[in-house]
Amino acid sequence: MRSTRILVAVLAVVGMLGAPSTALASGGAPKPTQPSPPALSSVTLDAIDVVGGTPVVGTVTLTSPAATGGLSVALSSDNPAAATVRSGVTVPAGSKSATFPVATATVPNIQSALVIGSAGAVTTYAILTVHTQSAFSTGSVGIIPGGTGNGTITSQPAGIDCTIGSSVSGVCSAFFPVGTVVRLTATASPGSKFQGWRGLPGCGDPSTITVARATTIYCQPGFTLK
């Protein structure tokens, strides 16, 4: 009985080995996977911070080269008062990208615009910030009073000369050209002592503050009474 069972098992294995491959019986090698059709990947700009009136060049990029007839991308701006674009751009057949002009307007204050591209189910955008001339070329440093004591804060280059006491007087905020490295010096008044600076964003080291475009960097000294 045991030998009979072994013989049956061996015949079953032989039968499995001898069975024709399903893949081969159904027509050979599997079909290759079809590549995905080209789709919109990104919208980019050659500049993202400009003075109003400065032209900008935008680029739409696809995931793969456009097919015959090209691929059309619809364009728009969510703030035409700051930036405008034409209604669309076509990526030529065989290319992965195409450029388009972006016109910016003179603005009364800093404004941002989304430059939006849409093709099929994909929508994406780039952010463009349009500045006034003064905002584009300068930034500022400001002093926030802190502590119970009295003292004076000055800057190098000159600009800030701020007296902190029961009230605040003098010049406690000043504009500097973008990229200027400003050094602040704290001097305690008689009867007070300087305890140090509170670490605010951009003012981790008040001896080397780099002025940023259209930004106010605040610093807070700590004066206490002796």
Instruction: Report pLDDT digits (tens) over 179-205.
Output: 999 999 999 999 999 999 997 899 999
Long-range contacts of 67-71 (CB under 8 A, 24+ apart): 67/37, 67/38, 67/93, 68/93, 69/93, 70/95, 71/38, 71/40, 71/119
Instruction: Report pLDDT digits (tens) over 49-76.
Output: 999 999 999 999 999 999 999 999 999 9
For 40-131, CATH gives 2.60.40.10
Specify the length of the chain in residues.
226
Residue 12 has pLDDT above 80, yes or no: no
Write out the CATH class of domain 138-225: mainly beta
Instruction: Report pLDDT digits (tens) over 93-114.
Output: 999 999 999 999 999 999 999 9
Name the CA radius of gyration of the chain, rounded. Answer: 34
Identify the residue with better confidence: 20 or 39: 39
- Please tell me the predicted confidence (pLDDT) of residue 30: 66
Domain with CATH 2.60.40.10 in the chain: 40-131
Q: Is the pTM of this model over 0.95?
A: no
10-14, 19-23, 49-53, range with greatest mean pLDDT = 49-53
- What distance in Å separates the CA atoms of residue 205 and residue 153, rounded to the nearest whole number? 14
